[in-house]
Amino acid sequence: MRRLTASLALWVMVALLLGACGGTTDATQAAIIEATRSYLASNAQVGDVSIKVQKVEDTYARVLVDPTDDDAESATVFLKQQNGVWQVLTLGTAFDRETYDELQIPPDLRV
């Protein structure tokens, strides 16, 4: 029983360390993808797309939206988690420094 408790404690510590190191959970990725899909449905004229979470840093995320139509251009979406909810900050194909600064996008997420 002691061995089982020690093993469980080790796994809990590993999980906490991974979370602290920026590991993104499946639930977080799913929430980011859903927020992106919802935004696209309400604000953009796009057909079928694939959505890939590229990077998450603290409460910010960068997502690639890749249309299945070869004639359409891929876009980058930046989101921020506010009060536990992921919200799209902007969507586009190119961003300037002023936009990044205004939206407070972390340097490691900028493309």
Ranges of each domain in the chain: 25-109
CA atoms of 100 and 10, how far apart (whole Å)? 40
pLDDT tens digit sequence for 4-55: 444 444 444 444 444 444 578 999 999 999 999 999 999 988 889 999 999 9
Please tell me the class of the 25-109 domain.
alpha beta
pTM for this entry = 0.78
